[in-house]
Amino acid sequence: NAASKGTYEFYMLKEIDEQPAVMRRLSTDYLDENGEPVVDPAIVDAVSAADRIYIFAAGTSYHAGLVGKEIFEKFTGIPTEVGYASEAGYHFPMMSKHPFFIFLTQSGETADSRVVLTEANKRNIPSLTMTNVEGSTLSREASYTMLLNAGPEIAVASTKAYTAQVALQAILAKAVGEKLGDEDAKNWNLKQGLSLAAEGIQEIVDGKEEIEKLAKKYLVPSRNAFYIGRGIDHAVALEGALKLKEVSYIQTEGFAAAELKHGTISLIEDGTPVIALINDPVTADLTRGNIQEVASRGANVVTIVGKQFAKEGDNIVLPEIDYYLSALLSVVPTQLLAYYASKNKGLDVDKPRNLAKSVTVE
């Protein structure tokens, strides 16, 4: 049964391991045999009619939205904003003439997101909820729903719902972009991309022992840590940092790689772990420079690098994938680092203190 732990000690690792299957299921459920998106035409029409997409979410889902922004803008040409639901509810952003709202929510019950949706409904703004839970409140109250089909997520720290949200946003972006005549969207082989993502995630989880060694060596002994990256790697840095701090209690910050030097680099000491993500072709070399800056101040740098950018001495080398899908691979080592840091500190990985799976109060 999907909600049983089986031979796993914790749900979190089980759910990390399920991600290749989640990628394959989304591909089967939302792409036809020619790789064309199978998305409710009413949703595609509604998003295509928008002059701006607004994504609202909380926590890990918010971080999936940051990746979604890059994907929507690239493949649909529609300017896209991402906001914390908890902020937007009471400081409603200035609206374009034809906004379309997307709510990303694993549970479909997050109170902060519900406030924004209620406000959107009052203003007759069309909306879509991407959620893992059929019939959930945000699904019922939005104009449209797309299901993540990731299977039940039990661990408090979200993993497979994040990758499902990134992949589903990609599918919707391709559908909308094609409708709008976007050449990049038409030429995007998403079927192959999701299949490479499934194989790539499998390769990463098969190498989990090496990742556990890195977690034990650099993270377990440390009080604090940093994630750095640029572009989509920046979005993943924020998610990697959240995952690590929430389950291991190691205070971790995610940074745009080059911003560190504008202040926070003063926190780098001998042995401070800095995990650097390099998957963006435009900035790969610049991020290498930022790694030098922290390494020369004593940081222990761990690199998570796409194969096409890899150099001698890199720690975790990821299979090659399209930049716009790179989060699907690069986030997985960050999930595993968090898992093993927590487990090796003897913590209850699935139930970190003070946290709830779904927060139904504002």
Q: Which residues are catalytic?
A: 357
Judged by CB, which is closer to ligand G6P: 2, or 361?
A: 361
Judged by CB, which is closer to ligand G6P: 188, or 227?
A: 227
The rounded distance, in Å, linking the Cα atoms of 99 and 121 is: 12
Structure-token pair, residue 19: 């991600």
DSSP lists the bridge partners of residue 107 as none
Shortest separation between residue 253's beta carbon and ligand G6P, angstroms: 18
The rounded distance, in Å, linking the Cα atoms of 180 and 226 is: 40
The rounded distance, in Å, linking the Cα atoms of 257 and 237 is: 9
163 interacts with ligand G6P by CB under 6 A: no
- Minimal CA–CA distance to 327: which of 65, 133, 151? 65
- Residue among 43, 147, 156, 190 that touches ligand G6P (CB under 6 A): 156
359 interacts with ligand G6P by CB under 6 A: yes
Judged by CB, which is closer to ligand G6P: 308, or 358?
A: 358
Judged by CB, which is closer to ligand G6P: 19, or 106?
A: 106
Q: How far is CA 174 from CA 35, 71, 169, in A?
A: 10, 9, 9
Interface stretch with ligand G6P, choices 11-19, 57-65, 188-196, 258-266 (CB under 6 A): 57-65
Structure-token pair, residue 167: 């992949």
- Other CB atoms within 10 Å distance of the CB of residue 141: 17
Is the CB of residue 117 less than 8 Å from the CB of residue 142?
yes
Residue 5 contacts by C-beta under 8 Å, 6 or more apart in sequence? Answer: 11, 14
The DSSP bridge pattern shows strands 80-84 and 99-105 to be: unpaired
Q: Which residue is at the shortest CB distance from ligand G6P?
A: 59
- Residue among 158, 163, 330, 342 that touches ligand G6P (CB under 6 A): 158
Judged by CB, which is closer to ligand G6P: 125, or 338?
A: 338
Mask 232-261, x = binds ligand G6P (CB under 6 A)?
------------------------------
Residue 190 contacts by C-beta under 8 Å, 6 or more apart in sequence? Answer: 27, 31, 35, 37, 170, 171, 174
Shortest separation between residue 74's beta carbon and ligand G6P, angstroms: 24
61 interacts with ligand G6P by CB under 6 A: yes
Judged by CB, which is closer to ligand G6P: 195, or 358?
A: 358
Shortest separation between residue 112's beta carbon and ligand G6P, angstroms: 8
- Residue among 15, 19, 56, 59 that touches ligand G6P (CB under 6 A): 59
344 interacts with ligand G6P by CB under 6 A: no
Shortest separation between residue 157's beta carbon and ligand G6P, angstroms: 6
**Residues touching ligand G6P: how many (CB under 6 A)?**
16
Is the CB of residue 290 less than 8 Å from the CB of residue 261?
yes
Distance of CA 196 to the CA centre of its chain: 17
Judged by CB, which is closer to ligand G6P: 105, or 163?
A: 105
Q: What is the b/e burial string over 186-215, where b = at least 16 CB atoms within 10 angstroms of the residue's CB? A: eebebbebbbbbbbbbbebbeebeebbebb
Shortest separation between residue 116's beta carbon and ligand G6P, angstroms: 11
231 interacts with ligand G6P by CB under 6 A: no
The phi and psi torsions of 244 (rounded to 5 degrees) equal -65, -45
Shortest separation between residue 181's beta carbon and ligand G6P, angstroms: 33
Q: Which residues ranging from 85 to 124 are in contact with ligand G6P (CB under 6 A)?
A: 105-107, 110, 113
The rounded distance, in Å, linking the Cα atoms of 74 and 56 is: 19
60 interacts with ligand G6P by CB under 6 A: yes
Shortest separation between residue 63's beta carbon and ligand G6P, angstroms: 8
326 interacts with ligand G6P by CB under 6 A: no
Q: Helix or strand or coil: residue 238?
A: helix
Distance of CA 217 to the CA centre of its chain: 26
For ligand G6P, the binding residues (CB under 6 A) are 58-61, 105-107, 110, 113, 156, 158, 355-359
